[in-house]
Amino acid sequence: MAIYTNMVFARLHDCLADDYPGVFRLLGSAQFYRLVRRYLTRHPSRHYSLNPLGRYLPRLLERGVRVPRHSLILDIARLELAMTEVFEEEISPVLTVRDFRSIHPSRWGSARVRPIAALRLLSLDYAANEIVTAIRQERPMPSLARRKTWAAVYRTNYVVRRMDLSETACTLLQSLVERKTFRAALARAARVWPKPPETLPEQVFAWFRDWVEEGIFSEVEFRAAKSKTRKRSFA
């Protein structure tokens, strides 16, 4: 029984190391082993699949579990969990540049743009995206100093991708995720735009062009008179 128990733990440990290679690398094998022991004590595997095994690891870290470089490890864990989540997320229809061009400019103010389900937005205290990229590509490690960053994690064509964002771009996207109208989302983004206000529309246009090309939008919803709603999924 002891041999079997140890074999099961080893299998679960390896699964978590596969899901969190950045956490494993930064903590080292001994510290990661102790973290996994603590984690599995509180969150044992209860699912027939091991895919959701590590979904509560960031939550455990948020509750104050002591590990070296705690804040950095938490950011890395949040990013790596987002990568796992978007890989498993449902498939959404995707809007194209042609779809967006078919919408008259006068309608954009009241439009609600729905991103794909396989999208996660992160506000981070470290350059977690750069660090994870370096670890996964076996490149020299960037600075581990605290630095505010923002990132999008999404899936296109069955490939998980990551994109660095500015605070303004992340604010705009987060507002759209929260189902704000485009006008309201733009107003919120303007409050954190660090440059002259008149330069923001051109930048938003450039962001949208890149985001549409990346396939991160799923549908556009228009709010008509008397609260009637009309959706265009272009699927």
> Is 10 found in the same domain as 75?
no
> Is 191 found in the same domain as 155?
yes
> Is 83 found in the same domain as 55?
no
The angle, 0 to 180 degrees and rounded to 10, between the axes of the packed helices 70-88 and 2-19 is 90
Of 138, 135, 132, 137, whose CA–CA distance to 151 is shortest? 132
Domain boundary among 68, 86, 117: 68
Q: Where does residue 28 rank: exposed (0-12), middle (13-18), buried (19+ CB within 10 A)?
A: exposed
Mean pLDDT of 149-171: 96
How many domains does the chain contain in total?
2
Q: Note the pLDDT of residue 59.
A: 96
> Is 30 found in the same domain as 137?
no
> Is 119 found in the same domain as 35?
no
149: helix, coil or strand?
A: strand
Q: What Cα–Cα distance (Å) separates residue 86 from each residue in 80, 155, 156?
A: 10, 6, 10
Rg (CA), the chain: 21
137: tokens are 């590509």
Buried-exposed string 195-212: b where 16+ CB fall within 10 A, e elsewhere: eeeeebeebbeebbeebb
Residue 2 confidence class, pLDDT cut points 50, 70, 90: low
Residue 73 confidence class, pLDDT cut points 50, 70, 90: very high
**Is 235 a residue whose pLDDT tops 50?**
no
> Is 94 found in the same domain as 49?
no
**Is 136 a residue whose pLDDT tops 50?**
yes
> Is 198 found in the same domain as 90?
yes
Q: Note the pLDDT of residue 9.
A: 81
> Is 74 found in the same domain as 55?
no
* pLDDT tens, position by position, 44-71: 888 778 888 999 999 999 998 999 999 9
> Is 118 found in the same domain as 49?
no
Residue bearing the bigger pLDDT, 234 or 39: 39
Lowest-confidence segment of 6-10, 169-173, 223-227 by average pLDDT: 223-227
The per-residue pLDDT of the chain, averaged, comes to 91
Mean pLDDT of 93-98: 90
> What share of the chain in percent tops pLDDT 90?
78
Domain boundary among 68, 86, 121: 68
Please say whether the beta carbons of 60 and 39 come within 8 A: yes
> Is 149 found in the same domain as 171?
yes
Is-above-0.85 flag for pTM?
Answer: yes
Q: What is the residue range of 10's domain?
A: 1-68
* pLDDT tens, position by position, 106-123: 888 899 999 999 999 999
> Is 111 found in the same domain as 127?
yes
> Is 167 found in the same domain as 105?
yes
